[in-house]
Structure 1
Amino acid sequence: MEGIVVDTFGDTIDREMLSEELAAELDAKATQTALSDEAGARVQSDKALADRLTANETLTAQKCEIYCGSYAGSWDGDYSHSNTKTVSLGFQPKAVIISSSNASNIAGYGATLAHIAVEDAASPYVSITSTGFQVSRYMNLSANGPFRYVALK
């Protein structure tokens, strides 16, 4: 049988050799296969897009909040590490930046980040606490106050 087909039609059978009904049936099957493949690709694409949207929504929710405020210095004249003041924010900040309102005094500036130790500092001027931050020494000098801060939550 195979030999007859090869002798009669050559190696291939072209669409033009088929009856109109058979050609239409093959076209319909090819169209259905293409539509099924496209539908599958769309499902995968929609899922990938939904995953990216979810990831972006999660990242957006993780952006930090900025809190600004001020505190008055309460220096008692003691330059030791024991002269501290705690500023309560109600949360543990990720970072705190402090500036004295007296810009002429360079000692009235400071910054710190949560979970990053200040190397070689026996007593950092600014340290993060679980509910805010603590200042000491020059960051608590009443002569340099009031102090303004920016805390990142």
Structure 2
Amino acid sequence: MEISVTLKVYLSGEIHTDWRERTIALCKAADLDIKFSSAVTNHEASDAAGDCLGEEHNGFWRDHKSAKVNAIRTKTLIEQCDLAVIRFGEQYKQWNAAFDAGYCAAINKPYITLHSEALIHPLKEVDGSAQAWATTPEQIVEILMYLLSDQLS
């Protein structure tokens, strides 16, 4: 028997692999009552988020405007979620993901980091404030199953 509550989970971080889709599919397969939200995963759309504020010929200012518009979305979704999962990939440095983790820590929002063992040292402070560290989407789903289980009482 499962607890009757919808858990709101924000998925942050790396956008170059299918970890989000795998996590969501595994949760659906386990019939978990979870509402997922996410950072913008379409790079072009993210880069163009500030274009509504007027044409910008300088790349720095275009990025600056778009980052601020994207921050509205990110901040709102993090504040509304019950838990964040923050993925750090191998290929790129995800400064935005580190910022999301710091914001979660600052507002006392629980978060789980998802990354390989190769990133243990560079993410030691980020992991130090996390409630858990996982290496696979399957581990994330196991944690979510545990959180939604009523077998604990």
TM-score, length basis structure 2: 0.19
Instruction: Name the larger-Rg structure.
Output: 1
Which is helix-richer, 1 or 2? 2
**Greater share of strand:** 1
